[in-house]
């Protein structure tokens, strides 16, 4: 069994992992997403009542990248996913704010 890969990454590693096929998940509210999101990100509002059920439906063998506005919510979800047995999950340091600050596109 391989060692779990669960930690916070900076924008360059986030891009590298995304380009390698990791699934990107935007944890923000629908209102926050109106200001833009990373291309191809799945929307999973972490405040939804059924959020835990949505996480439980994800395949733990896949690679995931999480982000929110500033990195606080995604860090909490990252830790939870690690305790649920996910093996390859990373969150974006500084959230979408850092993503945009470095000049990366949102749609």
Neighbours of 9 (CB within 10 A): 16
Look at the block and give the residue holding tokens 């109106």: 34
- Domain residue spans of the chain: 5-101
Query: What's the number of CA atoms in the CB half-sphere (13 Å) around residue 98?
Result: 16
Task: Report pLDDT digits (tens) over 69-84.
Answer: 999 999 999 999 999 9
E-strand ranges in 2-95 read 5-9, 23-26, 42-43, 64-67, 88-92
Match domain 5-101 to its CATH number in 3.40.50.300, 2.130.10.10, 3.40.250.10, 3.40.1350.10. 3.40.250.10
For residue 22 the two structure tokens come to 């990791």
| CA distances from residue 72 to 7, 19, 26, 30, 107 in whole angstroms, order as listed | 13, 24, 13, 17, 22
Q: pLDDT digit string (tens) for 92-103? A: 999 999 999 999
pTM of this structure: 0.95
- Rounded to an integer, the average pLDDT of 30-53 is 96
């Amino acid at each position: 069994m391989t060692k779990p890969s669960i930690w916070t990454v900076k924008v360059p590693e986030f891009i590298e992992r995304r380009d390698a096929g990791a699934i990107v998940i935007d944890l923000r509210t629908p209102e926050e997403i109106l200001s833009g999101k990373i291309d191809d990100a799945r929307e999973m509002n972490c405040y939804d009542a059924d959020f835990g059920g949505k996480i439980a439906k994800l395949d733990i063998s896949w690679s995931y990248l999480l982000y929110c506005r500033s990195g606080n919510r995604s860090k909490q979800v990252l830790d939870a996913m690690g305790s649920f047995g996910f093996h390859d999950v990373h969150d974006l340091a500084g959230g979408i704010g850092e993503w945009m600050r470095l000049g990366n596109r949102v749609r």
